[in-house]
Amino acid sequence: MLRPPVKQPTALAWVPKREVLIVATRDGELVSVDPVLGTRVITESIGEAGVLALHEDRKRYLTMNRQGGWTVGTLDGETLINARHTYLGGMDGFFAGEYVVMLGDEGDGKRTLSIFKEDRRTAHLKLPSRVSATVSANGGLLLLRSTHAGLEVLPLGALKKGRSFQKGMESTMHRLRPSGPHILGFTSTGIAIWNEKGGQPKSMRLPDLTAGDISHAGEYLG
């Protein structure tokens, strides 16, 4: 368990296949924490980010802030896209190849998922409540729901064909977040960790956790 030397972190992510942690702060900064090169500010203009994701190319980042903005930029400090989203809560976002996937709760209470190519939305669909998403090892989108029986995983294509999650199973209060091959579930008392196959998680008791991420190899939790 590593604690980044950054004040008021709101979201963080490990750079894929590197021991470098990127941290978003409440003051709108994006900070790189490197055990060799030290700590440096990448940008100061992302707003209070609730979502931070990194591309597999180890160059690009995605943030979604609580003021209704989303940004794609580079870890060198260049801003590539600065646009608006309509989500009020339950937000998440990640890269899927050259696409950006965002999901969350709209103002009317509906949970939706949007797919963007650069700043142009190419798909928008309604999701069941408390459902999250991730990218599978083969590049397909998977929908996720946490229940007391474990993590349910459903391909997005199956939902479009009329399949759905098991009926009669209530969702737990885990706030799900994809992280490479892992799925993290945050609660007020700790964190649960799954892989994309679902089932039962590994759990850690970590009260008062404000943000977290796990390295792709599963070695470091920040």
Distances (CA, A) of 171 to 67, 79, 168: 27, 37, 10
Q: Average of pLDDT values for 61-66? A: 97
pLDDT at 44: 95
Rounded to an integer, what distance in angstroms lies between the CA atom of residue 145 and that of residue 129? Answer: 9
How far apart, in whole angstroms, are the C-alpha atoms of residue 184 and residue 202?
10
pLDDT for res 214: 73
CATH code of 8-98, in short, is: 2.40.10.480
* pLDDT tops 90 at residue 5: no
How confident is the model at residue 97, as a pLDDT? 94
Average confidence (pLDDT) over 68-96: 96
CB 151 within 8 A of CB 183: yes
Burial class (CB in 10 A: 0-12, 13-18, 19+), 218: middle
Shortest CA distance to 159 belongs to which of 175, 140, 172? 140
- Structural domain boundaries in the chain: 8-98, 128-211
- What's the gap between Cα 166 and its chain centre? 24
What pLDDT, on the 0 to 100 scale, is given for residue 187?
78
Q: Which amino acid is present at 77?
A: G
pLDDT at 4: 65
Do residues 11 and 50 lie in contact, with contact meaning Cβ atoms separated by under 8 Å? yes
Would you state the pLDDT for residue 3?
65
Residue 112 — pLDDT band, cuts 50, 70, 90?
very high
Per-residue model confidence as pLDDT tens digits over 145-198: 898 888 899 998 887 787 888 777 778 778 888 887 888 888 777 788 887 777
User: Percentage of residues in the chain with pLDDT exceeding 90?
Assistant: 52
The 3-state secondary structure of 34-62 reads ECCCEEEEEECCCCCEEEEEECCCCCEEE
